[in-house]
Structure 1
Amino acid sequence: MRRYLPFLDWLPKYNKSFFGKDLVAGITVGIILIPQGMAYAMIAGLPPVYGLYASLVPILIYAFLGTSRQIAVGPVAMDSLLVAAGLGTLAISGVENYITMALFLAFMIGAFQMLLGFLRMGFLVNFMSRPVISGFTSAAAVIIIFSQLKHLLGADIASSNKFHQLVINAFQHIMETNVYDFGIGLIGILIIASFKTWFKKFPAILLVVVLSSLAVYFFNLEAYDVQVVGEVPAGLPSFKIHNFTIEKIKDIWPIALTLALVGYLEAISIGRAFEEKNKVETIEPNQELIALGASNMLGSFFQSYSVTASFSRSAINYEAGARTTIASVISVIMVALTLLFLTPLFYNLPKAALASIIMVSVFGLIDLSYPKKLWEQRKDEFMVLLITFLITLSIGIVEGILIGVLMSLLLMVYRTSKPHFAVLGNINGSDYYKNIERFGSEVEVRPDLLIVRFDSQLYFGNSAYFKSQLFKYIKAKGPGLRAVILNAESINYIDSTASTMLISVIDEIHEMNVQFYIAGAIGPTRDIIFESGIINCLDKKYLFVKIKEAVAYYDDPNTITTLREKVAHQNLSN
């Protein structure tokens, strides 16, 4: 039961001394969560109150099913933008239908996450490489910032998930700027950015919410067309069953699967970052999928759109000293009290203030140091990052992720199709055999021996490359060559195509009156050598544990026992 209900592991051990820290952390995160949740709901194209609804049931469920002690779950900017981008491609008419589809999307996201968790498919997220994540995240942050110009300027600027369209739309309506909205937004940005620099522990977001609301109320700025949140429905969200149809599922499953993986990636990466700080490993990837899936699925019945872990709130939660997810429960209580008793206070909250919160919050997601590092060290990975960034900006968010992942996989395939192939020589006065290109004059190179190392698995994608490189070096040795030794330490697998190729290569080498040895093959590779028939053309006595043994056998067959003989002797002894 502890595997699927992690709270059974930590709750019985809960120490009363933890509660004080959890209480402070929960209140601190709750203060940030309320305005942030409302702001992120706006990014998703939903009324602000749905950000509060998403801060109730999902967080409560994760608190008991999640395996991380510090991460803070709830609405986040990235997923909110993906929700807007995904639903924006569908023909949805009316606010109510849009809300209904957003809630159904959360259910589908949770269903995919639950399914992947029960099938133990958490490893799938590993196919999203860091260059793809960095490029996508930075581009999404830029789109989010520019999408808030309509609230910052108080102008009727059309929404879009394409950067160039957002810029064009903004320029077309720049003259409609409401100076009061712009002033509120600009002051909000300056306050939050300044406090982040000089007073990091002070809740600057709360200060912006209070000051801007008071300004609207006392100066009657609504009469000057300042856009406000307006009436926020009081009370907790009601329970609603989704209207399940095949058409809905067909329309929404691609964006749901994308959000399921992106949300999981955010949660697992944030959780692991805090694990490194705490030096305690608690995260179980597949259980995280189940926890997030349950949060999204059950939350959707209580009018919650999709949630995942928030880096900013998780950092605040950690710095405030949270010890367990009881801190998250306290944050939920704060949101519930707000919905029950404090919603009238948000009537005068200007949308420009929420825009300033969003802009500053996501600006930190734009990473310039990592691309610079890649440009200096790995230009091929830099190109993956750059293309992901540009496609996300110009074509679409989902397209950017998919093309980025595809390019990463193609780059991986290309690298494995032409892996490192080294010619080895004996380091003078030692038993070590190293790359002759790296050690130069320190290496003894014999004209009658070719020793090579292939630093990859042998499979259909690189078998032709292996053969061509090997015969290139054999040809370079000339007629004096008498033996080839393959150092197989780095070969952890040989597929059927490569096995057939290797048998053919060994036969060709034998026809040249050159002997072929294999040294250093690990257990699984050695099994394949015997099972695939390679051993039939190689001969058992030409399989060695180390290169030096193969060389010694070549020089004098009577001086060394082959690997096969050693294994047989060991079995007899046992």
Structure 2
Amino acid sequence: MARTTPILDVPAAQCSVFWSRIFPFLRWWPLVQRDTLKADLIAGLTGAVIVLPQGIAFAMIAGLPPVYGLYTAMVPPVIAALFGSSRHLISGPTTAISIVVFATVSKFAEPGSAQFIQMALTLTFLAGVYQLALGVARMGALVNFISHSVVVGFTAGAAILIATSQLKHFLGIHIPAGESFLHTWQDIFRQFHEINPYVTGIAVVTLATVVGFMIYRPRWPGLLIAMVVGSLLAMALGAPTHGIALVGEFPASLPPLSLPDFSLGSLKALGSGALAVAMLGLMEAVSIARSVALKSHQRIDGNQEFIGQGLANMVGSFFSSYASSGSFNRTGLNYDAGAVTPLAGIFAAIALAAIVLVFAPLAAHLPTAAMAAVLVVVAWRLIDFHHIANIVRTSKRETAVLAVTFFATLFVELEFAIYAGVMLSLVIYLMRTSRPGIVSRVPDPAAPNRHLVTDPKLPECPQLKIVRVDGSLFFGAVDHVQGAFQRFAEQNPGQKHLLVIGNGINFIDIAGAEMLVQEAKRREAQGGGLYLAKVKDEACHILKRGGYADTFGREHIYATKGDAIESIFKKLDRSICERCDRRIFLECGSVPHAEKAPEAKATA
């Protein structure tokens, strides 16, 4: 549907502020009209067709029966639509979440077993509790501190793991469940001569069908059509007689009630993995919601999105749904299809439930080889080659975060890979903030008022060093800044006076204030001084409140650079100024040149 003008937020005055906070859907409900209902219904039907094959595929990645992927696409999207902040975000099963669920739960139970299902539901409930708690605590800004490189690296690694795990179904060989990445490839090469040509043929035809639709008919439901083609081919070849495994029929029913395992042992075993699922889900949901909001001109409330995702997982765990999050491709399709309100996601869930009730028996003819081919395509599309190339090309530090997360995903525990990437991105962030920029400033002789510039070719005053600090003076940056000040003193011992331009200093903590006091005392002992100019009120507050300004002198804090230079100039050694030929300050013109001693005449 063509989109003309964006739908902006409804003023809060149209509904009770109190009730809209408890029930966020009251904020967009006034938008619902006949035209919006039609647009949302069309978008919902489109989304239901798309999520049908994806739900089955993602559940297989998670080690769950296929129907659980469809249940996850029915219940959580409704809760997330009602209690989230985005009008276009579609929640449900995702690839990255599915593979973390499998990696976490498969350590404690056999994939597909009743115990595995119950532990997956417990993991989902715990993840929802974490997400809800973060949302209630108003910590929605946490995701801003997680580098995008972590998500890109983890997703790329997860894509390779997904494709590797499906090769046994693609080739028709037996590989034990739970094998590591390296062991899986060892088993593939060891059993390469046992490949089933009928299974591989179905997989290749399905794969070719998907790729063909991606190239020539990208807006058609290529995954669904490819699964039908694979099923028809399996029926034509005679699946039972050639060892062609089938997915099997799943129940044609709505999501049944379920109960997670709340025993202390299960909660302790799954606590760490649930936190990884929660953080990964929040990163996906908030980043996707914000990317679509840029197009729809809608404001996203990160805290409300946390609450919506948390409630979706908590409620979903009691309706046979495993961990869910925002889906990029389904959200993008929902927006492109003309959705106006979150009712599109609700309509998609209802339409999917109707499809399952009618067509569930057809899944009995779906070969696992066709599903494996679909998952290989899904894995390939997960790898963001454009962003990977851009990260490698532009930043060594972000490349390190990407590489660590990627290789940790392949070779260690998946939740550890997420934690490793997040911790490394935080370390890099702290390294950046702990090394504020410190640049020398000198007057520009070509300017009438000689404003300060950064130019290493211009001369400096032999007695006064002027620097600008671009960054906060907090405990993590103290060592770097103090070391820079001391290097300046060692390089030019005559520059006993130091003027710090502080308009780039956002705040100063106690450690930073004490460092300034120490530097001031050291320079005073040498006959110089430390001075501050253009310091922000917020940064100056702690200096005055803690008495640090009194220690090194309130008169050493200036409102402007001009006032600072004029005052400091009076404290400079006049004999040095008289012999100086640089004359870089306007005040230098008031100092006469020292008379040169007459040259001694040569004697015979």
TM-score (norm 2): 0.87
Contact 1:143 1:161 survives alignment (8 Å): no
Alignment pair present for 1:485 and 2:465:
no
* Structure 1 counterpart of 2:292, from 248, 257, 274: 274
Matches within 5 A, 1:26-425: 26-90=44-108, 95-160=113-178, 162-278=180-296, 280-425=297-442
The residue aligned with 2:43 is 25
Three-state SS of the structure 2 residue aligned to 1:478 is coil
Greater displacement, 132-141 / 171-180:
171-180
What's the CA shift for 1:114? 0.9
Three-state SS of the structure 2 residue aligned to 1:263 is helix
Greater displacement, 248-257 / 444-453:
444-453
The residue aligned with 1:460 is 475
One-letter amino acid matched to 2:99: L
One-letter amino acid matched to 2:516: L
Point out where structure 1 has 5 or more consecutive residues left out of the alignment: 558-574
Contact 1:162 1:396 survives alignment (8 Å): no
What's the CA shift for 1:117? 0.8
What's the CA shift for 1:221? 2.2
Three-state SS of the structure 2 residue aligned to 1:408 is helix
Alignment pair present for 1:538 and 2:552:
yes
For the structure 1 residues 57 and 377, does the alpha-carbon distance in structure 2 shift closer, same or farther, using more than 3 Å as the test?
A: closer
* Structure 1 counterpart of 2:486, from 446, 454, 471: 471
Greater displacement, 348-357 / 83-92:
83-92
What's the CA shift for 1:174? 2.5
The residue aligned with 1:569 is none
* Structure 2 counterpart of 1:432, from 451, 467, 472: 451
Partner Cα distance (1:51, 1:293) in 2: 18
Partner Cα distance (1:161, 1:273) in 2: 36
Deviations 1:459-496 (A, max 9, x none): 222212222211221232333x3532111112222222
What's the CA shift for 1:434? 2.4
Greater displacement, 38-47 / 536-545:
536-545
For the structure 1 residues 34 and 91, does the alpha-carbon distance in structure 2 shift closer, same or farther, using more than 3 Å as the test?
A: closer
One-letter amino acid matched to 2:453: K
What's the CA shift for 1:323? 1.6
For the structure 1 residues 161 and 110, does the alpha-carbon distance in structure 2 shift closer, same or farther, using more than 3 Å as the test?
A: farther
What's the CA shift for 1:286? 0.8
Partner Cα distance (1:113, 1:525) in 2: 34
Partner Cα distance (2:566, 2:382) in 1: 58
What's the CA shift for 1:141? 0.9
The residue aligned with 2:601 is none
Partner Cα distance (1:276, 1:163) in 2: 38
TM-score (norm 1): 0.92
One-letter amino acid matched to 2:150: V
Contact 2:205 2:230 survives alignment (8 Å): no
Partner Cα distance (2:565, 2:352) in 1: 73
One-letter amino acid matched to 1:387: V
Greater displacement, 62-71 / 89-98:
89-98
Larger Rg: 2
One-letter amino acid matched to 1:264: L
Partner Cα distance (2:419, 2:111) in 1: 28
Greater displacement, 239-248 / 81-90:
239-248
What's the CA shift for 1:241? 3.0
Partner Cα distance (2:195, 2:306) in 1: 44
Partner Cα distance (1:523, 1:251) in 2: 50
Three-state SS of the structure 2 residue aligned to 1:62 is helix
Point out where structure 2 has 5 or more consecutive residues left out of the alignment: 1-18, 572-604
Deviations 1:224-268 (A, max 9, x none): 221111121121122233341111110001000110010010011
